[in-house]
Amino acid sequence: MQKQEHLTKNQQIVLDLVEKSSEPLKAYSILFNVQKKGLKAPLQVYRALDKLVEIGKIHKVESRNAFVACKNSSCQVSKATAFSICESCEKVTEINNSKLSKYLNNFQDNSGMKYSKYNLEFFGLCKKCKNK
């Protein structure tokens, strides 16, 4: 079987929802929102999420246990992700900075480990919240 080149029904339903959302979505919030479309059990959502993360269509924001659609169309796999997170309003934005990604993709320390993947989360106050 060759690599799946199209999304299955469940994957597409979940992706559509996450892409339409202006904020990170939690798994059970996704579940609630897709129940009318026939996905009734958590596992159906988690399996779709797993696959979508694997192929890079969405990313998991680890510190929030939430999922966002990848805005970077060239992103084929979730192997180099960076986010900015506002600790006040919880707005999350994917950082797309080629200098940063180059720096991190090339990072090596003296551990002998070759890193194939990273996830970076920055925290602070967004412009709006800073001025309150």
Partner DNA sequence: AATTTTTTGTTATAATATAACATTATGTAA
Partner DNA sequence: TTACATAATGTTATATTATAACAAAAAATT
Positive or negative: CA dihedral 70, 61, 65, 92 = negative
In the shown chain, the binding pattern of residues 17 to 56 toward its own copies, with x for contact by CB under 8 A and - for none, equals ----------------------------------------
Segment 4 to 23, residues that bind DNA, using CB under 7 A: 4, 8-11
**Does 84 participate in binding its own copies (rule CB under 8 A)?**
yes
Which of 50, 90, 56, 87 has the alpha carbon at shortest distance from 71? 56
In angstroms, the CA 9 to CA 37 distance is: 10
71 binds, among DNA, its own copies, none (CB under 5 to 8 A by kind): none
**Does 48 participate in binding DNA (rule CB under 7 A)?**
yes
Which of 36, 42, 41, 67 has the alpha carbon at shortest distance from 54? 67
Could you tell me how many residues of this chain bind DNA (CB under 7 A)?
A: 24
Cβ 101 vs Cβ 82: under 8 Å: yes
Residue ranges in contact with its own copies by CB under 8 A = 62-63, 84, 86-87, 93, 95, 97, 100, 103-104, 107, 109, 111-127, 130
